[in-house]
Amino acid sequence: MTGVAATNPDNAQGEVVIRVRGLTMGFDDLVLMRNLNFEVRRGEIFVILGGSGSGKSTLLQHMIGLYRPQAGHIWVAGADITEAEGAQREAILRRVGVMYQMGALFGSMTLLENARLPLEVHTDLPREAMDAVARARLQLVGLGAFADFMPSEISGGMQKRAAIARAMVLDPEVLFLDEPSAGLDPITSADLDRLIQRLARTLGMTIVIVSHELASIFAIADRVIMLDKESKGIAAEGDPATLRDTSDHPWVQRFLRRTDSDQERSA
Amino acid sequence: MDSTAASAEPPFEYDATVDPAPRLRLSGRLDVHAVEQHWGPLRRRARDLGQQAAGAVLVDLRGVEYCDGAGAALLHALEQDFARADAEVQFEGMSRMVEEQLAPYRELDAVEPARAADGRGWWQGWMDGVDRVGRAAHSQFSFVGELTQAVGSALRHPRQVRWGDTLRVAEAAGFQALPIVSLIAFLLGVILAFQSAIAMRQFGGEIFVANLVAVSLFRELGPLMMAILLAGRSGAAFAAEIGTMKVNEEVNALKTMGLDPVRFLVLPKVLAGLLVAPLLALYANMIGLIGAAVVMQGFGIPWVAFFNQVTSALSLSDLFSGLVKAVVFGLVVATVGCLRGLQTGSGAASVGLSTTSAVVTSIILIVVLDGVFAVLFYHLGV
């Protein structure tokens, strides 16, 4: 796995894992974003940032092929997911993991069964091995003791962590996380940030996060793109701290600095 | 990994040697495909090696280029196999990646489940069952009480009832049910008339088919079929709607806003049920008679003769006993649907359970009550 070596965020020459070209997306007559172009490199923590309703989650759903774009292409791990069908599409999806906004754990299954499901579908491992892998993933997110619990018996933060365990049970190349820290307390959220960093740095996973939690973004993001609802495009792209200090885009400044000053006030 | 990168790396291989020292050498990509193939054979080999070794076994990982979660599961299983064979395992050349992947497996050995296994005896299980039945009975009685209270308050203050909602539910449960009620009632009339006419013809009494069909439809089958359809269409819908609201915490939102869910959600549905059930039953009776009349044309009984016979055969008590039943059935279906909705636990599966339970409970209660009515009407001479 060449990716492990390429985890240095400053390494702008890293292999491109996701390439978005000329992407226009929306629903029916509504256009959310027009002509988006960006790349995600192997091993980086890439954050899609934007205000409510700017189309962050929709962009993520396009990147995992849930929706067809109005125009443009998205290559994930070398294949165009906007045109892939059937087996080709499945082969791409086999290599990505997704955590949905609300976790989307199956309520009728225990955490272990939830985490084991992708293995049952995609591998021929013996049952004993599947159980071991699923349990280890739960342990990695700190839920090793809760394997036999139903999702309704654990807290919201635990559900999100269990959903991450399920998303990465197949060792995906790219892990998509939709609002991982939304609705979590600062301590749980910081734990989650550490987990995400650990996955990227030591297991070499590429991680794409949709978020608007600034504290967590400044802590972990290697690169961000900021979606601007007004111009229907990318307002800024780069390392978050640099953007905050150097960007002259008024909306970017307002977005990144306002909460920053809030943090200083509360500090 | 994409396929080009995968093929560039050597495939997974292993070999075990006993001389000069017991040694297991792994190399290549230790990924899920390798584990699928080698899980059984490699572990058997390890057990043999462990038994021969009688001491320390060296596991050489220097050649392992990639290791995923499944690979780590295999390494951990090997560790345990050696341990079971009383061999001490020593890993050599373990990369950072393997170490990181293996860590949660090793941690798990020390993790106690957060909930102890269920070791309670049959007595405790039995008592839990009794407890559950008691709780269910309690919630049903208190629900009936709350509903009665809400109905009483609605009678005293009719303006507080959400009549808009009531009419909307009545439209969905009543008017929109007309096509299926028509179809079933018509076919019921046709079947009843046809089956009885064949027997009656032997005695030249085809005209009395009208008596048979009219009385059985008005007293028994009209309300019964209507109630079963209502349970399947609307009782299930009530349970699913309220159940989903419960799961989404909408019911809690109502409570915190000071709105009583029984008054706000249940009462309109129960009133709508009370309203549409007798109307649907009456409609089903009429359509059933038309179905029977159509069949009787084929047996030489004209429309006028058939309907004259029907009016002479039916008494007001036939009509009203049927309508009383219909009202009670409507009440039962709407109440049970709402009750099951409010009893919904959490998750999508429990909405499904509530819906099933609403229909099953309704139908059981309808059939039981139908029997009670039969005895009651017999003794009352209705």
Block means of pLDDT (10 residues each) for chain B, length 382 residues? 49 78 82 86 82 78 84 87 81 83 84 70 86 87 90 88 92 95 96 93 91 94 95 95 90 85 91 95 96 93 94 92 95 94 85 94 96 94 82
Q: What is the DSSP letter of B346?
A: S
Domain A14-95+176-267 - what CATH class? alpha beta
Question: Could you give the CA distance from residue B272 to residue B136 in angstroms, rounded to a whole number?
Answer: 26
* Whether the Cβ atoms of residue B67 and residue B98 lie closer than 8 Å to each other: yes
CB atoms < 10 A from the CB of A244, how many?
18
Question: Could you give the CA distance from residue B29 to residue B38 in angstroms, rounded to a whole number?
Answer: 12
Closest-CA distance, B262 to chain A, in angstroms, reads: 25
pLDDT of residue A258: 62
pLDDT of residue B60: 84
* Whether the Cβ atoms of residue A226 and residue A234 lie closer than 8 Å to each other: yes
* Whether the Cβ atoms of residue A157 and residue A184 lie closer than 8 Å to each other: yes
Contact A152 B32 (CB under 8 A): no
- Substitution target in B7, B44, B108 with the highest count of A β-carbons within 10 Å is B108
Collect all residues of chain B within an 8 Å Cβ-Cβ radius of residue A1.
1, 5, 65-66, 97
Name the band, by pLDDT with cuts 50, 70 and 90, for residue A4: very low
Contact A1 B101 (CB under 8 A): no
pLDDT of residue A260: 47
Collect all residues of chain B within an 8 Å Cβ-Cβ radius of residue A126.
39-40
Does A9 score more than 50 pLDDT? no
More confident residue, A247 or A170: A170
Residue of B226, B231, B235, B230 lying closest to B338 (CA atoms): B235
Question: Could you give the CA distance from residue B333 to residue A189 in angstroms, rounded to a whole number?
Answer: 47
- B200-209 long-range contacts, Cβ below 8 Å, gap at least 24? B201/B299, B206/B296, B206/B299, B206/B300, B206/B301, B207/B301, B207/B305, B207/B306, B207/B309, B208/B309, B209/B292, B209/B296, B209/B299, B209/B301
Question: Could you give the CA distance from residue B149 to residue B222 in angstroms, rounded to a whole number?
Answer: 31
- Substitution target in B105, B118, B246 with the highest count of A β-carbons within 10 Å is B105
Collect all residues of chain A within an 8 Å Cβ-Cβ radius of residue B36.
123-125
Collect all residues of chain B within an 8 Å Cβ-Cβ radius of residue A125.
32, 35-36, 39, 70
Contact B347 A202 (CB under 8 A): no
Question: Could you give the CA distance from residue A194 to residue A186 in angstroms, rounded to a whole number?
Answer: 12
> What residue in A sits closest to B34 (Cα-Cα)?
A125
Residue of A247, A2, A97 lying closest to B2 (CA atoms): A2
Both tokens of A175, joined, read: 């892990």
Q: Would you list the domain boundaries of chain A?
A: 14-95+176-267, 103-171
- B140-148 long-range contacts, Cβ below 8 Å, gap at least 24? B140/B339, B143/B262, B143/B335, B143/B339, B143/B342, B144/B335, B146/B260, B146/B262, B147/B262, B147/B266, B147/B267, B147/B270, B147/B335
Question: Could you give the CA distance from residue B214 to residue A166 in angstroms, rounded to a whole number?
Answer: 62
> What residue in B sits closest to A79 (Cα-Cα)?
B2
Collect all residues of chain B within an 8 Å Cβ-Cβ radius of residue A145.
111-114
pLDDT digits (tens, 9 = 90+) for A141-200: 888 888 888 888 888 888 888 898 898 888 888 899 888 887 778 887 888 888 888 888
Distances (CA, A) of B334 to B242, B270, B339: 12, 5, 9
| Nearest beta carbon to residue A145 from set B77, B113, B345 | B113
Collect all residues of chain B within an 8 Å Cβ-Cβ radius of residue A2.
5
Question: Could you give the CA distance from residue B101 to residue B115 in angstroms, rounded to a whole number?
Answer: 26
Question: Could you give the CA distance from residue A217 to residue A101 in angstroms, rounded to a whole number?
Answer: 17
Q: What are phi and psi of B353, to 5 degrees?
A: -60, -45
> What residue in B sits closest to A78 (Cα-Cα)?
B2
| Nearest beta carbon to residue B346 from set A107, A133, A147 | A107
CA torsion, ordered B341, B347, B350, B351, to nearest 10 deg: 50
Question: Could you give the CA distance from residue A125 to residue B73 in angstroms, rounded to a whole number?
Answer: 11
- Substitution target in A80, A133, A149 with the highest count of B β-carbons within 10 Å is A133
pLDDT of residue B119: 61
Q: What is the DSSP letter of B217?
A: I
List the beta bridge partners of residue A98.
A176
Taking the whole predicted model, whether its pTM rises above 0.95 is answered as no
Question: Could you give the CA distance from residue A193 to residue A203 in angstroms, rounded to a whole number?
Answer: 15
More confident residue, A51 or B320: B320
Distances (CA, A) of B233 to A17, A54, B27, B304, B364: 51, 40, 63, 35, 16
Query: What is residue B283's three-state secondary structure?
Result: helix
Question: Could you give the CA distance from residue B221 to residue B223 in angstroms, rounded to a whole number?
Answer: 6
CATH number for domain B9-108, candidates 3.40.50.1820, 1.10.3720.10, 3.40.1170.60, 3.30.750.24? 3.30.750.24
Question: Could you give the CA distance from residue A259 to residue A266 in angstroms, rounded to a whole number?
Answer: 10
pLDDT of residue A123: 85
Contact A136 B108 (CB under 8 A): yes
Q: Does B101 contact A at CB distance below 8 Å?
A: yes
CB atoms < 10 A from the CB of B349, how many?
15
pLDDT digits (tens, 9 = 90+) for A74-98: 888 888 888 888 788 888 888 888 8
Question: Could you give the CA distance from residue B33 to residue A96 in angstroms, rounded to a whole number?
Answer: 17
Collect all residues of chain B within an 8 Å Cβ-Cβ radius of residue A200.
none
Name the band, by pLDDT with cuts 50, 70 and 90, for residue A1: very low
Could you tell me which residues come within 8 angstroms of residue B338 by beta carbon, excluding any fewer than 6 positions away?
B238, B239, B242, B265, B266, B269, B270
pLDDT of residue B356: 95
Query: What is residue A66's three-state secondary structure?
Result: coil
Q: What are phi and psi of B323, to 5 degrees?
A: -70, -35
pLDDT digits (tens, 9 = 90+) for A116-125: 998 888 888 8
pLDDT of residue B4: 40
Q: How many CA atoms lie within 13 A of B70 on its CB side?
A: 28
Residue A5 CA to chain centroid, in angstroms?
21
SS (H, E, C) B6-52: HHHCCCCEEEEECCCCCEEEEEEEECHHHHHHHHHHHHHHHHHHHHH
List the beta bridge partners of residue A206.
A174
Collect all residues of chain A within an 8 Å Cβ-Cβ radius of residue B105.
132, 136, 139
Query: What is residue B112's three-state secondary structure?
Result: coil
Name the band, by pLDDT with cuts 50, 70 and 90, for residue A245: confident
Q: Would you list the domain boundaries of chain B?
A: 9-108, 145-380
Both tokens of A147, joined, read: 């394997």
- Cis upstream peptide for B20 (omega within 30°): yes
* Whether the Cβ atoms of residue B326 and residue B227 lie closer than 8 Å to each other: yes
Instruction: Tell the burial category of B194 from Cβ atoms under 10 Å away from its Cβ (0-12, 13-18, 19+).
Output: middle
Could you tell me which residues come within 8 angstroms of residue B377 by beta carbon, excluding any fewer than 6 positions away?
B321
Chain pair A-B, CB pairs under 8 angstroms: 98
Q: Does B114 contact A at CB distance below 8 Å?
A: yes
pLDDT of residue B89: 82
- Substitution target in A19, A121, A123, A125 with the highest count of B β-carbons within 10 Å is A125
Question: Could you give the CA distance from residue B180 to residue B339 in angstroms, rounded to a whole number?
Answer: 26
Helix (H) or strand (E) holding A40: strand A30-41
Helices (H), chain B: 3-8, 32-53, 69-84, 96-108, 122-156, 163-173, 178-201, 209-216, 222-230, 236-247, 250-256, 261, 267-298, 303-313, 316-342, 348-380
CB atoms < 10 A from the CB of A222, how many?
23
